[in-house]
A and B are shown apart, each in its own frame.
Chain A
Amino acid sequence: MAGSERVAAETVAEVAAAADLSRTRTRRRRDLSGSPHTGRPSPKLTESNFRERKEHELATLPDEQLISYIQKARAAGRTETMTLALSVLVFGYLDIVTRRVALKVPPADVDDVAHEAILSAIRSAFAGESIGEFRAWLNRITLRRIADYHRKLEGKPKTVPLLSGDEEDDAGWGEVPTTDFEGVRVDAERAIETAYEGLSEAHQRIVDAYVFADRPASEVASAEGTSEDNVHQVASRFRRRVRELLEDGDS
């Protein structure tokens, strides 16, 4: 469990964020089909009325505001500003997406699939599609790109490049058969989702904060107005349910 040195303010903010995510997950479908997020910059934006933000300000902007800022910088023709904000966004998520992809895709193809996922999400955000919350959309797109990867791979022999030169490398290319990649079942996350969706909203918040945000049981109990024992029990029941679903193949 997390160390006690973590400050209270951070704790409250993170538990709140976890709770937000919990709510986001339960309303994901509604978000994706509603909430117009046009992605188009205002036609009235010009160089003169664009307010440039400092780097440290960009770092603290929520996703939607950061994307909006990138759109405005783009419309104002502020290339360097736009690129910096884009860097903040990509840096913030590329590692997470890459790690998720690495759980299900052989190492040689991880970067390619992760970049494709980030690119697809950004494209949607900027091409005027209605995507709801960027984070939920990115999560969804990441799973799609992983599924696409496995679909394309069906029937193809597994290979990896013999040389790992950069993109501009003019050297020859070759391929050798891979050793088997012991990938994780693509649908394994369904066990988590099924177990999670079987919880009440209050218990979802507990699981988010205690299990996935690594908050101390005492703080979660205090925030939720319950006992530490109950926090442990909720987490334990959740884990047992996940295990049952995986073992039954009923996820």
Chain B
Amino acid sequence: MAIVRAQMADVENLFRSYVAQHRAGEDPSEQDLLSQVDGTDRDELAAMIDAYLERAPRRAWDAEAFEASGSAPFVHSVARSLEGSAGLWPTLLPRLRSRARVARKDLVAELADRLGVSGRRDKVESYYHQMEQGLLPAEGVSDSVLEALGAIVGESRDALRRAGQSLGTAGGPPGADAAVFARTATGPVPDEDVAEVAAAASSMPADEEWDDVDRLFRGG
């Protein structure tokens, strides 16, 4: 019994220390704390910390801390998802590419090869960039493209299709590319490539001029 009490006291002290630091706005390391105990003590401490975090109040807004946290690009990608016409693609596609450890130019090259349009790599790049920016209506992107893309980044075609589904009512009607471009270009989007992509999109061919690449990315 005495041993159990001593164990509880150690875990309790560590837990109290963690809570006090976190509530004071400090940055306690869970792993450092857990490394001080093992076995059941470790499980107990981890479970207590997890239960505390589950109940912890929303972190108070601090604009400076937000900028310093490195979360801004993530938030902007979520905002693009809400603004755009491609569901979560603006958030998901860059992450999948990063997870697969594939540079964008390599992804585009492989995507063009897999689609049998390796001679039109520039156009594939432009379309893929629009997908990442949420500027290309997801419903127009063919299964062939999603199949090929999924094979490269390790995700299923269906999962990519689901991710591209609209997030409720967007700011503009589907297919209103110009409006989407305008909103995105004036919004807080840090990606300097947006203007370039918008320019590329504005020079996209009219329906009667579509080639195979247009049909793959816009023909559904």
Contacts and interface: CB of A to CB of B under 8 A. Distances in A.
B104 interface: yes
A88 B170 contact: no
Contacts of B103: 169-171, 173
Q: Report, as a range, how many residues of chain A touch the other chain.
A: 35 or more
A100 B53 contact: yes
Contact of B169 (A75, A86, A94, A99): A75
A135 B20 CA distance: 22
Contacts of A126: 82, 167-168
A139 B19 CA distance: 19
A126 B87 CA distance: 10
Interface SS majority for chain A: helix
A18 interface: yes
A247 interface: yes
Given A14-B57, A115-B74, A170 B66 contact: no
B179 to A, nearest CB: 9
A82 B79 contact: yes
A189 B51 CA distance: 7
Interface of B: 4, 7-8, 12, 16, 19-20, 23, 30-31, 34, 40, 42-44, 46-63, 65-66, 69, 71-72, 74-76, 78-79, 82-83, 87-88, 91-92, 94-95, 97-99, 101-105, 165-172, 183-184, 186-188
Given A74-B170, A77-B172, A184-B42, 11 more contacts: A71-B168, A74-B82, A83-B187, A86-B79, A92-B60, A94-B71, A96-B59, A119-B91, A127-B168, A170-B104, A246-B44
26 contacts: A18-B55, A55-B61, A59-B61, A77-B183, A79-B184, A80-B188, A91-B65, A91-B66, A92-B59, A92-B60, A115-B91, A119-B78, A119-B88, A123-B88, A126-B168, A139-B54, A167-B95, A170-B104, A171-B103, A184-B50, A185-B46, A189-B50, A189-B51, A191-B47, A214-B16, A239-B12
